[in-house]
Amino acid sequence: MRSKPDLISEKVYVKPRHTRPLLGVSACLSGKPVRFDKGHKKNKYILNDLSRYMDFVEMCPELEAGFGVPRPAMQLRKQQDEIRLVFSKQPDVDITQQMTQYAENRLAQLADLDGFIFKSNSPSCGVFRVPVVVHKDGIRERTGTGIFAQLFQQNYPLIPVEEEGRLNDPALRENFFERVYAYRRWKGIESAGQNVQALIEFHAQHKFMLMARGSEYYQQLGRMVSGTTKKDLQHRRNAYIKRFMEVMQIVSKPGRQVNVLQHIMGYLKKTISSADKQELLSVFEAYRNKQTPLITPVTLLSHHLRINPQNYIVNQHYLNPYPEQLALRSTL
């Protein structure tokens, strides 16, 4: 009989809510030997770096759904136009229902999450391009999403998700944590109650983050906020945050970032010298030409803004979207 090792707690082991971001994580990534072969996929970035700033809810859907460790390997298989979860060596054994039932119960406990880092390629946890067997000869297409990851996203479409492998890409990594922290800020104003002004301020304070994706998105979201009344607040808020989180998934290009940096510099035009302006512009260009990471122009701008504070900029999250110790803008 397969045992369920005392490795994954049923409870959510976290520090008190709201102190640090709370992320779901596939348990094998945090080094727990929960894979089908008793192995793990320890991820040092999650364990050593992120754990200093975030709390995690570790979960292994296959183990928690009752399949034990060790267990037969699983795969996604297309059967009559449906994607089903089966045992790789016994494709006639359809275990989709067992996973789905588990997920329905477990998902109800995850509403507090600020994000989720899933294990790639897994028929349960993978988010992007998970292999699906589409032919009895074993031909695969990389078009699937793991069953648990899919249900999680259906239940919580606003919560940012990412895979551990994609976090090796600096642009995707920054994008994911920008979304995690923006979503936390949204939950913060939501828990403070219904308030038209809070919605307007949230939008205004994310102006440059949205412009870094495209000024058209800032304008589009602005129209969704404009004219909001108490009566239609709930409806507007729901539509706004849905679109906001969609837009935040766009990975900002250097040209768009430079537009934002120049825009911010415009607030300093009366207070800094020509030499300082020239220096800023040359650093912006060095960033655009991939000679220096984004943190360089952001740091220089922040330095000038500390000396010449501008109220409007101080409230912008663009310059401080997450704890600077995460060093997410430090890679070319």
> Does residue 34 bind ligand SF4 (CB under 6 A)?
yes
Q: How far is the CB of 123 from ligand SF4 (least distance, A)?
A: 8
* Interface with ligand SF4 in residues 124-183 (CB under 6 A): 124-125
* Interface with ligand SF4 in residues 49-68 (CB under 6 A): 60-63
Residue 59: name the closest of 112, 114, 131, 110 by CA.
Answer: 110
Percent helix, strand, coil in the chain, to 5, is: 45, 15, 40
Q: What's the count of helices (H) and strands (E) in the chain, helices before strands?
A: 13, 9
> Does residue 99 bind ligand SF4 (CB under 6 A)?
no
CA-CA distance, 162 to 182, in Å (whole number)? 15
Q: How far is the CB of 79 from ligand SF4 (least distance, A)?
A: 21
Q: How far is the CB of 72 from ligand SF4 (least distance, A)?
A: 12
Look up residue 180 and give its two tokens. 């995690």
b/e map 288-323, b = 16+ CB within 10 Å: beeeebbbbbbebbbebbeeeeeeebeebbbbebbe
Q: How far is the CB of 106 from ligand SF4 (least distance, A)?
A: 12
Helix (H, G, I), strand (E, B) or coil at 166: helix
| Local structure of residue 1 (DSSP, 8 states) | -
Helix (H, G, I), strand (E, B) or coil at 234: helix
C-beta closer to ligand SF4: residue 77 or 236: 77
C-beta closer to ligand SF4: residue 165 or 323: 165
> Does residue 119 bind ligand SF4 (CB under 6 A)?
yes
C-beta closer to ligand SF4: residue 60 or 110: 60
Q: How far is the CB of 4 from ligand SF4 (least distance, A)?
A: 12
Q: Which of 30, 75, 122, 175 binds ligand SF4 (CB under 6 A)?
A: 122
Residue 109: name the closest of 13, 5, 241 by CA.
Answer: 13
> Does residue 30 bind ligand SF4 (CB under 6 A)?
no
Q: How far is the CB of 171 from ligand SF4 (least distance, A)?
A: 24
Strand 115-118 and strand 22-26: pairing? parallel
Q: Which of 26, 175, 252, 316 binds ligand SF4 (CB under 6 A)?
A: 26
Q: How many residues does the chain have?
A: 332
C-beta closer to ligand SF4: residue 122 or 145: 122
> Does residue 95 bind ligand SF4 (CB under 6 A)?
no
Long-range contacts of 321-325 (CB under 8 A, 24+ apart): 321/177, 321/178, 321/181, 321/182, 321/209, 322/177, 322/178, 322/180, 322/181, 323/53, 325/52, 325/53
> Does residue 28 bind ligand SF4 (CB under 6 A)?
yes
C-beta closer to ligand SF4: residue 156 or 267: 156
Q: What is the size of the binding site for ligand SF4 (CB under 6 A)?
A: 13
Binding site for ligand SF4 (CB under 6 A): 26-28, 34-35, 60-63, 119, 122, 124-125
